[in-house]
Structure 1
Amino acid sequence: MFSNKQVYQFIQKSIKQKQNIVVTSVIKTLGSTYSKAGSIFVINEEGKTCGVLGSPKLHNKLLELSKQALETKDVFVLDNIPSDESSGHGESKFFIQAFFYEENYGLLQESLENTNKTLVRSIIDGRYFFEEKQRSIELKENLFYQTIKKPYSLLIFGAEAHVEPLIKMANLLGWKTTIIDIKINNEFVRNADKTIKLEDVKEVLNIDFKQYDASVILSHRPSTDEVYLQALASSNIEYIGMMGNKKNMIRIKNKLGLNNDNRIFAPVGLDIGSNSSESIALSICAQIESKRNGKI
């Protein structure tokens, strides 16, 4: 629900400023649509917005319904069906609900405190409850099921010029980025959300990696890369990428007994037939997205 960093930060900032907030959720789609179920669009009472769900016409309609939600406190369902059947565009269903400072933001605030649970909402009256187990996004019998996730978190080992495009690409995707290494060049990592400087490479073996979803080793130092991989292999991180030549990657995986670990991608990135720093960043993020969505 909050997996996009920009949306999450916008909501947090609006709450801090005591702004009333309207959240529009895509709850169902059919055919080719700009946004899929689970995507959200947020507007606060000042008229500031975050997120894009479709065309300017749709955007304006959502703004109109958001204003009504702030005024009436009603919930709204919008069915967006193309008027021209030959347009090639699919159908979308949206759920619009307002949250108020005077009510401590109700469901929205509770959702922020119930990460990894499933929020179940009635699209008839907005009533809700939480399930402990995580479920796929689904609209069933007027109930919308959506697992609450905080921003996807990427841990990057390395802090030189070659990591800057990866940070920018991850930021564009709405991921939280953390840089970690024994050497930090702040000039190239200024766009990261957080940096961690290790005084000694062995410190990494004592770090708790639970808060991270994916990691990429780009430090280009064989003496440290092996230790980093060893630390990550014992964690629950779902994607572990490592840059380097194939022969050396095979050697390290053999040494650490990681040949059957399907979380590890070494060399890192999809083969997209290009080798600029920007395209390498794209190939890495594409591979992470593929792993995240069960495509590889």
Structure 2
Amino acid sequence: MEISKSKSHLKRMPLSERVFDIGIKCLFALIIIGILYPLWFIIIASFSNPQAVANGEVLLIPKKINLEGYKALFSAGLIWRSYLNTIIYTSVGTLFQLVVNLPAGYALSRKELVGKKWVVAFFTIPMFIGGGLIPTYLNIKSLGLLDNPLVLIIPGAVSTYNIFVIRSFFKENIPETLWEAAQMDGCSTIRYFIKIVLPLSKAIIAVIGLWVAVGIWNSWFDAMIYIKNQDLHPLQMILRRLLIINEGIGSGAASAAGNASNEMMRQRSEMMKYAAMIVSTLPIMCVYPFLQKYFNQGALIGSVKE
């Protein structure tokens, strides 16, 4: 029924508008294909024979199914431990950032906040002026967070941008009349925030939670700077080390002509590269579709505006 209505509407449109409409749809279809195809290619390349990938035989479906890349990747001793570390860091870090930033955003959304302009300025300045790597390292060291898992959770817990997005969402979507009614019923500020505001803010919680989770999941620089103990390294740090090592092996093997074992090492390096991409992105790709429905409501309505 809806299709027939759209077709009849299209027929009633002038020729120039129909051509423009079809052109826009074709353009967006090409953009979608351009975004999705590289992702699909990485997936099928990780299951294909590297020689077939190098020869351009792999286009839409895997060729000569080969799981050696995944076997070599997961045979590394620290990969499973680092995977668990990343899951813990992401889960705890995301929860901690929500606990810190949601109340801060709510407080900044209240008109009765004393010294609101000064508080906003206090949050805004660090967005544009950073302390630098060396002072930050010395600060982390003085706090006793070196080689401590908390260094990947606590220092980055406050995000000014996320706080401002949360503040805007609360100002635009939580009616002031709710607070007035809650006051008449004797509800305290904390209870109002927990019992009324948070249940009405699932969209912004989902959006901010996903932003934070993706950031922590993909993070490796802080671990490289502050953590020396390999047992505490996140997944991205281990994958980075494995790829660098195998890249060096592959380059050395490629420069040695005519040796079958060297060619095999180069192919193994290529297989591990594609497998590492899939392993590192698969959990986020699985979670994202379930939170996508909140993005229009949370990210657009909660955009920074005054």
Length-normalised TM-score, structure 1: 0.23
Length-normalised TM-score, structure 2: 0.23
Indicate the structure with greater helix content. 2
Indicate the structure with greater strand content. 1
Structure whose CA Rg is larger: 2
Choose between structure 1 and 2 for higher RCO, CA contacts under 8 A separated by at least 6 residues.
2
